[in-house]
Amino acid sequence: MNWTFFVAAWICLGVATLGLALYRKFLTMREDDYIHIEQWRAPEVEQQQAMARKIHSIDKYGETLTILTLLGGLALAIAWIYAAVSKF
């Protein structure tokens, strides 16, 4: 059996997961970590809320991609072991 397509798809999934993690890292480097609660700082509060929503959605997709990558790798390993054992 030719494993090239499956391994390439799994690698692409891993690269996408890594790319999303790097995007989140670079996005949070510019984040304002101070909590603004004063009325005169309303624009900063709105920006922080928007950034929090964006980071939350990135985290949700990141968790999903990580789980899919792990499950894909596990499925490939099980299929490879099964194919190797069935030859004997």
pLDDT tens digits for the chain (88 residues)?
A: 789 999 999 999 999 999 999 999 999 998 777 776 777 777 787 888 899 999 999 999 999 999 999 999 999 999 999 999 988 7
Question: Residue for token digits 């603004």?
Answer: 36
10 vs 71: CA distance, rounded Å: 10
The pLDDT of residue 72 is: 97
**Sequence-ordered list of residues with C-beta below 8 angstroms from that of 48, at least 6 positions apart, any chain:** 32, 35, 36
The pLDDT of residue 6 is: 94
The pLDDT of residue 46 is: 83
CB 13 within 8 A of CB 72: yes
* Domain locations in the chain as residue ranges: 4-86
CB 55 within 8 A of CB 27: yes
The pLDDT of residue 75 is: 96
